[in-house]
Amino acid sequence: MRKHLAEQTVIFFSVAKWLILSSVVGIMIGALMSIFLKLLHGAEANRELLPFHYYFLLPFALMLTIWIVKTFDKNATGHGTEKVIEAVHKRDGLINIKVIPVKLVATLITIFAGGSVGKEGPGAQIGAGAASFASTILRFSNRDRKKLVICGISAGFASVFGTPIAGAIFGIEVLIIGVIMYDVLLPSFIAGFAAFTTAQFLGVEYTYYDVDFFRSLDLNLDLIGKVVLAGVFFGFVSDWFITVINEIESYIKKIPYSDYKKAFVAGLVMVVFSFFISDKYLGLGLNTIAEVFHNNVVLTDNINWYDFIIKTFFTSLTLGAGGSGGIITPIFFVGATSGVTFGHLIGDNIELFAALGFVSVLAGTTNSPIASIIMAVELFGTQISHYAAVSVVIAFLITGHRSVFPSQKLALKKADNIDIAEGDDIEHTRISVNMEDIEKVKQIKDKLKYKSLRWQVKHHKEKK
Report mean pLDDT in 10-residue bins for the chain, 464 residues.
Answer: 78 87 93 93 90 95 94 80 86 87 93 92 88 90 91 91 89 87 89 94 82 58 91 97 95 93 96 94 89 65 86 96 92 95 86 93 95 91 87 95 88 75 68 61 59 57 56
In a domain, 417, yes or no: no
pTM higher than 0.85, yes or no? yes
In a domain, 208, yes or no: no
Cβ-based neighbours of 328, under 8 Å, separated by 6 or more: 81, 118, 120, 121, 362, 366
Q: Are residues 285 and 254 part of one domain? A: yes
Q: Is the dihedral of CA 239, 242, 248, 253 positive or negative?
A: negative
In a domain, 426, yes or no: no
In a domain, 59, yes or no: yes
Q: Are residues 98 and 246 part of one domain? A: no
Q: Are residues 136 and 76 part of one domain? A: yes
Instruction: Tell me how far CA of residue 233 lies from CA of 55, 224, 228, in angstroms.
Output: 33, 14, 9
Residue 223 is predicted with a pLDDT of 86
Q: Are residues 229 and 96 part of one domain? A: no
Closest CA to 391 of 360, 362, 426, 353: 360
Domains of the chain: total: 3
Kindly report the length of the chain. Answer: 464
In a domain, 421, yes or no: no
Residue 292 is predicted with a pLDDT of 83
Residue 187 is predicted with a pLDDT of 92
Q: Are residues 462 and 328 part of one domain? A: no
Q: Are residues 184 and 218 part of one domain? A: no
Q: Are residues 372 and 236 part of one domain? A: yes
Q: Are residues 143 and 223 part of one domain? A: no
Q: Are residues 286 and 182 part of one domain? A: no
Residue 457 is predicted with a pLDDT of 54
Phi-psi domain of 290 (left: phi exceeds 0; alpha: psi -120 through 50; beta: other): alpha
Q: Are residues 240 and 370 part of one domain? A: yes
**Dihedral, 178, 180, 181, 185 alpha carbons, nearest 10:** 170
In a domain, 429, yes or no: no
In a domain, 100, yes or no: yes
Domain that includes residue 401, residue range: 214-410
Q: Are residues 247 and 124 part of one domain? A: no
Angle between helices 259-276 and 307-320 (to 10 degrees): 160
Distance linking the first and last C-alpha atoms of the chain: 92
Q: Are residues 290 and 234 part of one domain? A: yes
